[in-house]
Amino acid sequence: MKAQENMSTEESIGSGTAQSLRPSTVEGKSATEIAWWLNEHGFATELVREGTTIGGITMDSREVQPGDLYVALPGAKSHGAQFADLAVSSGAAALLTDRAGVDLVGELPGEVGLLVSENLRELVGPLSAVIYNSQPQDGSAPTLFAVTGTNGKTTTTYMINSIMQKLGHTTGLIGTIEILAGSQPIPSKLTTPESPHVHSLISLMSERGISSMAMEVSSHALDYHRVDGVRYDVSGFTNLTQDHLDLHGTMESYCASKAALFTPEKSRRAVICADDSWGQTMLDRARTAMGAENVVALTTHFGRGVQELPAHLGRQDWVLTEVEREGIGHRFTVVRGDGARIESSTQLPADFNVSNAALAAVMVYESGQNTADLAARLAEAETLTPVVPGRMQLIGTAPTAIVDFAHNPDALQRALEAIDPAHEDGRVMIVFGATGERDQLKRPIMGEIAARHADVVIITDDDPHDEAPEPIRAAVEAGARDAQKDGARAAEILNLAPRAAAIEKAIDLAGPHDSILVAGRGHEVAQEVAGVNLDLDDRVEVARALAHHGFEVLPAYRSMLGDASA
Ligand SMILES: CC(=O)N[C@H]1[C@@H](OP(=O)(O)OP(=O)(O)OC[C@H]2O[C@@H](n3ccc(=O)[nH]c3=O)[C@H](O)[C@@H]2O)O[C@H](CO)[C@@H](O)[C@@H]1O[C@H](C)C(=O)N[C@@H](C)C(=O)N[C@H](CCC(=O)O)C(=O)O
Ligand SMILES: Nc1ncnc2c1ncn2[C@@H]1O[C@H](COP(=O)(O)OP(=O)(O)OP(=O)(O)O)[C@@H](O)[C@H]1O
């Protein structure tokens, strides 16, 4: 409905991906101008040869469009300079590479320019901002929101957009599930695209009348400088719990990666959920980097059994209070140290969605919207209840059957806590697995959490990628069995693949008072096994199994069944 309303102000973007779409108005620049700008901004650069006019930028030879500056940089697997031939044959106007790259490039055709600098990843973002004019200072840029943290980024960005739409904005979104320019989806491969794409998307959206954009910023993105050159109006932090230690090594370095968003270069204002010691650390780091007056703390565990007001509560800091169950969601109030109040509700189930809703509401408040309008919109129940694909999505109510994206220990625990059945004879059942080729440490931990919070644990495959699935399941099962020996809640632990069979088994074992959580894959519709993408949508499998066993399927999912329900 909201998307339909947005259509009127939107022009069609046409086909294309985050990698190929460019704004229609790009002012061409010479290699001399680019070299001058880089040197002026602290990136020592040598202009070896002028080429033709530059009208775009990319760091992937496969994406070069005629007139692009191809930035050939070193990576973990290869050096972009190895692919210079393809870039040139695709029409690159010039190459920007480092000393090592110059040796690899060899002879370039005379009309192709050449620039040389070092630490190339750090300059691509700011340079893309200049080439695509994505950060104009004349007030024409969209209001930009960024959300980082281990869990809750996607949900919070959808909530921010829902509020901004209610306030009359046409919104854009960049995140894990999709990129949206108003109602138009743009295919993308990453949660946070590479910096040339981030800047071209911001300009493109701005050109098409989008006045507010929310994006997820992953820790990978911060480490790889993908959002350098963007200055967000308000950046938010959800939480930090164990994940991605394969990339970051330790929680300390994971925290340091996330903290890179909270600097004056990247954010004008920050809202930090400071519920635990990692949140407190992030708050301290942000205040040191950005100045205390630009950083607002939000405490979301208050009102849920925490009696003491947080010591760091200042006049500009927010506290979640008065959380009450309402339907499958919650009604809540957020209060600021100076007395300002936000009252709202969300019908997205789970405690953590109250935290996400509070963060979204406070981030929009801090972006300077009219507070009376905002209060009126937040009073409407649907404002903070957007459809977030695959996040706590309810497929059936008897038994309660939920598909969720929880794929790390904290998310799994909190999703399980949220589905404890109201009926005394109701059991909690879980179907889940762990991803291959990612953080192995979390596998037994997730097994243990499942056994501690569920009565029936069915361990199956997530995305094994190129890893053998059996040892992944065995590692998860080992954690669950150890916990069971230790007196954990689980009465039954099964190890069952393929995933569709595990889902069918859970529904087969379920009674109408039970709650089943199918966790880990959420919105995903393909499972990658040994390099092959197999069709698999947990929501369809759950709906199919419910129907097969004669249980009610919510109307929105009945249509997904097609002939399978027969
Ligand atoms: C770990 C990681 O993030 N790696 C990123 C990194 O790869 P890399 O350093 O190995 O680069 P490389 O493959 O050696 O290539 C070097 C250079 O040559 C270029 N190249 C390479 C091949 C070619 O044919 N032509 C070409 O021009 C590459 O674009 C690159 O500029 O730089 C590449 C582009 O410069 C990225 O595409 C690549 O992301 C890969 C695709 C990836 O899958 N990243 C994931 C893990 C990621 O970022 N995920 C997060 C979300 C995490 C989460 O929260 O779950 C995300 O934001 O999506
Ligand atoms: N604030 C939160 N705290 C803990 N868990 C959460 C929170 N919000 C959502 N979750 C859980 O984490 C899962 C992922 O949520 P969401 O997609 O909103 O987060 P994300 O940060 O975008 O995750 P990812 O980076 O893995 O895509 C949800 O399916 C839910 O189980």
Question: Is the CB–ligand 2 distance for residue 414 below 6 Å?
Answer: yes
Mutate which of 58, 59, 174 to test ligand 1's pocket (most atoms within 8 Å of Cβ)? 59
- Tell me, in angstroms, the distance from the centre of ligand 1 to residue 171's CA: 28
Interval between CA 190 and ligand 1 midpoint (Å)? 9
HSE, side-chain direction, 13 A CA sphere, residue 560: 19
Confidence band, pLDDT 50/70/90 cuts, at residue 182: confident
- Residue 134 domain-assigned? no
pLDDT of residue 135: 94
Distance separating alpha carbons of residues 265 and 177, to the nearest angstrom: 27
Section 109-118 average pLDDT: 95
Both 177 and 324 in one domain: the answer is yes
| Rounded distance between C-alpha atoms, residue 366 and residue 357, angstroms | 14
Confidence at 248, pLDDT banded by 50, 70, 90: low
Q: Using the 3D structure, point to which of 127, 162, 194 is the last residue of a domain.
A: 127
Cα separation, 47 vs 36, in Å, equals: 9
Residue 324 sits in the same domain as residue 192? yes
Q: Is-contact 459 473, C-beta < 8 A?
A: yes
User: 352 in ligand 2 pocket by Cβ < 6 Å?
Assistant: yes
Assign 3-state DSSP to the chain and report helix, strand, coil percentages, each to 5: 35, 20, 40
Q: What is the pLDDT of residues 265-302, one digit of tens each?
A: 999 999 999 988 899 999 999 999 999 999 999 998 75
> Do 210 and 228 fall within a single domain?
yes
What average pLDDT does the segment 545-563 reach? 85
Parent domain of 36: 31-127
pLDDT at 62: 97
Q: Which of 442, 482, 476 is nearest to 458 (CA)?
A: 476
User: Ligand 2 centroid vs 28 CA: distance in angstroms?
Assistant: 41
- The segment with the largest mean pLDDT, out of 100-109, 181-190, 483-492, is 483-492
Classify residue 260 as left (phi > 0), alpha (psi -120 to 50) or beta.
Answer: alpha
Last residue of a domain, one of 336, 354, 384: 384
8 A C-beta contact, residue 396 and residue 429? no
Residues 174, 201 contacting (CB under 8 angstroms):
yes
The domain spanning residue 262 has which CATH number? 3.40.1190.10
Mean pLDDT of 196-221: 95
Q: Contact 75/100 with Cβ under 8 angstroms?
A: no
For residue 4, name the pLDDT band (cuts at 50, 70, 90).
very low
Does residue 92 line the site of ligand 1, with CB under 6 A? no
Ligand 2 centroid to Cα of residue 151, in Å, is: 4
Residue 2 inside a domain? The answer is: no
From ligand 2's centre to the CA of 56, what distance in Å?
A: 35
Percent share of the chain, pLDDT over 90: 75
Residues 432 and 514 in one domain: yes
Binding-site members are: 61, 149-155, 191-192, 218, 226
Ligand 2 pocket member 279 (CB < 6 A)? no
Q: Which ligand number lies closest to the CA of residue 216? A: 2
β-bridge partners, 555 = none
Ligand nearest to the CA of 87: 1
Q: Are residues 280 and 193 in the same domain?
A: yes
DSSP codes joined into one string, 505-553: HHHHH--TT-EEEEES-TT--EEEETTEEEE--HHHHHHHHHHHTT---
Q: Which residue has the tokens 């509020």?
A: 163
What's the mean pLDDT in 259-264?
97
Closest residue CA from atom 23 of ligand 2: 151
pLDDT at 306: 52
Residues 500, 480 share a domain: yes
Instruction: Check residue 2 and give its pLDDT.
Output: 25
**How far is the C-alpha of 406 from the C-alpha of 430, rounded, in Å?**
11
Mean pLDDT of 179-197: 90
Write 529-534 long-range contacts (CB < 8 A, 24+): 529/461, 529/463, 529/464, 529/465, 529/469, 530/464, 530/466, 531/466
Beta strands in 175-284 (DSSP E): 179-181, 184-186, 212-216, 232-237, 267-273
Q: Lowest-confidence range among 4-8, 32-36, 193-197, 246-250?
A: 4-8
At 106 the pLDDT is 84
* pLDDT value of residue 252: 87
Both 87 and 164 in a single domain?
A: no
Buried b / exposed e across 330-352, counting CB within 10 Å, b at 16+? bbbbbbbbeeeebebbbbbbbeb
Give the pLDDT confidence score for residue 3 in this predicted structure: 27
Residue-wise pLDDT tens digits, 59-112: 999 999 999 999 999 999 999 999 999 999 999 999 999 999 999 998 899 899
Is pLDDT at 338 greater than 80 in this prediction? Answer: yes
| Token reading at 14 | 């046409």
pLDDT grade, residue 165 (50/70/90)? very high
For residue 562, is pLDDT > 90? no
This prediction has a pTM of 0.88
- Given 362, 384, 406, the domain boundary residue is 384
Residue 549 forms part of a structural domain: yes
What's 66's domain CATH number?
A: 3.40.1390.10
For the chain, the domain total comes to 3
Domain membership flag for residue 467: yes
Q: The domain that contains 416 carries what CATH number?
A: 3.90.190.20
Residue 203 in contact with ligand 1 by CB distance below 6 A: no
Ligand 2: atom nearest CA of 390 is: 29
CA of 273 relative to ligand 2 center, distance in Å? 14
**pLDDT > 50? residue 453:** yes
Assess whether pLDDT exceeds 60 at residue 303: no
Nearest Cα residue to atom 17 of ligand 2: 154
Backbone angles phi, psi at 467, to 5 degrees: -90, 150
Question: 394 CA distance to ligand 1 centroid (A)?
Answer: 35
Across the beta sheet with 143-148, the strand order is 184-186, 179-181, 171-174, 212-216, 143-148, 232-237, 267-273, 295-299, 318-326, 329-336, 341-346
Q: Is the CB of 218 under 6 A from ligand 1?
A: yes
Same domain for 336 and 195: yes
Q: Is the pLDDT of residue 528 over 80?
A: yes
